[in-house]
Structure 1
Amino acid sequence: MIDHYLHGKANRLSPEAPVPVVNLKSEYFTLGGAGNVVQNLVSLGAVVAVSGAIGDDIAGAQVISILNNEGVSTDGILTDKDRTTTVKTRILVDGHQLARLDKECTHNLDIVAENNLMEQLSRLIESADVVVLSDYNKGFLSSTLTRRIITVAKSFDKKVIIDPKGNNYTKYSNAFIIKPNRSELAVAAKLENIETTEALQVAANIILEQTEVENLIVTLSEEGMMIFGKQGATALPVKATEVYDVTGAGDTVLATVSYFVALGLNVVDACEIANHAAAIVIRQIGSATTTIDEIIIEIENEMHKLQAVN
């Protein structure tokens, strides 16, 4: 997925329609969707091989170029001539979003393409430490392909960590971690309101029973996160004292948890570190990444604050 930003100024309305005329000043392209997870992993120091589907178009070539510049292996990316690479174009005027234009294709891969992809993915999964699925409900991670990936990963004894989408979490069954946010969990559990801790537990129990996943991590924006699993429920309050923009914070949490689980940490400890990583990125505007050094400084600063209080 490509995020395309158009920045400009608007000082008058169009004579053709009651809309502002935007005088374009700058534009830039960056990875969106799962690409932000990839960039977070790279920033942490991970060696990443990525998979997905792109179209045979300019945006698809941009995706490959950006990933190659990041040092990411693109061998697992499928070019589908019947597909359009997803592009989200945002028009911003004086820092405020005026409109967003989406160009995308959300159909599932055909069986031939899926089989060809799985041959490549099997080799990549075998050599990986963990498998991370960032589902944006764009058709690539169909129920069939998702199940096949999890099955192959389990056969190689690899942990699968998933950022889910939609209301059918059964396709993520037997994963190691599913990481929805509060609203995504409510949709999947078919509950209208899960604002309280008790309601969160009810929703979590529904998904844990439905998927037999080992761990469910629910991100709660400025309230931190909750971890549900065999160890019971663990609450981790947010570490940030200033919140400017939560955009991309979920991607940072997914990447950080995945990275430290790959290093052998348990889920709670990995989430503690991810909480600090999220505190760093939500103090910045837009999707951001962080590094190990920045996380260490963040943790040390919190320890100094706690020592000063005590």
Structure 2
Amino acid sequence: MESQPEHFISLPLVGKEEESPRLPLAINVVAKYWGEDLVQPDSPAQPRGAVMIDGIELAEKAGLAAYIYKGSLKNLKKRIDQGIPVIAIMPGIQDVAQHATVVSGYSVDERRILTYVPEPDTVGAVPESKFEDDWEQDDSTAIVIVPADMKELVKKEEAQFAQSNRLCFEAERLRQQGNAGKAAEILRQAAEKDPENAQAWSQLGGVYNEQGSEEAVVCYERAVKLNPKYYLAYRGLGNYFLKKQDYSLAEAYYSKAIGVNPARYGPIYKNRAVARMQLGNNAGAKGDLVKYLEQTPGAQDRKSIEDAITQI
């Protein structure tokens, strides 16, 4: 890192006392980097998963400009060299499907992407190939927040899917609030605006899935055709067919998701175990339940799963 200081942004440290239920850590860090304090400690807590668009809107109210677009490694490095940190939507771990990380630099010599870690004098370093592979699982979604007078640095031709991705984030909030009808309407607009946007199709599939509509399959399949690494679309197809009691297809799609990233989301193994038990594959089901507990150490149903493992 010392040999490549021109490719590194020093970001402010945000302590736990500065966290807010409406303000995601990643947006808090970037806003502070630009000299804006967005913390509103008295704000009511929002549902899990709905806070990203809330945080973006807080940043905009403070006079910052925000863009949500499909990025690339080349564009990410360009932003770093412009002095602009990038928020990347990445795979989660354990029982969290996604998380946002702030990219603060890159190392030319080591071919690594440097990320913000909320600890003093600490930086994460991820091999470029792994970072790119992981990022593609969420369609390389990037969030860039800059002062209004720097808006011209984010050129329209570089910000692919900016409008439709914004609609996707707004729809996710509506979905979390229980307004699936309005969320579906907005996601249909996003898909019409950018038919090549895999995120829009996957999220629309998610809304239809919750409604039990077979339209979910069409949307999810459109997403994975556009992006064969779209983990959440494969998982969504698995969930759809599990509910429809088509256990063979459920197992197949869960296996495709696991093939994309075997360590992304622990509970998927529990779901595949259900499908495998129904198919008579008890050995496979047992292995999946063991994997579920390994990857989800805080599982609330640990005792019942351990009992099930001993009985299979």
The alignment's TM-score, normalised by the length of structure 1, stands at 0.31
Q: Which has the higher helix share?
A: 2
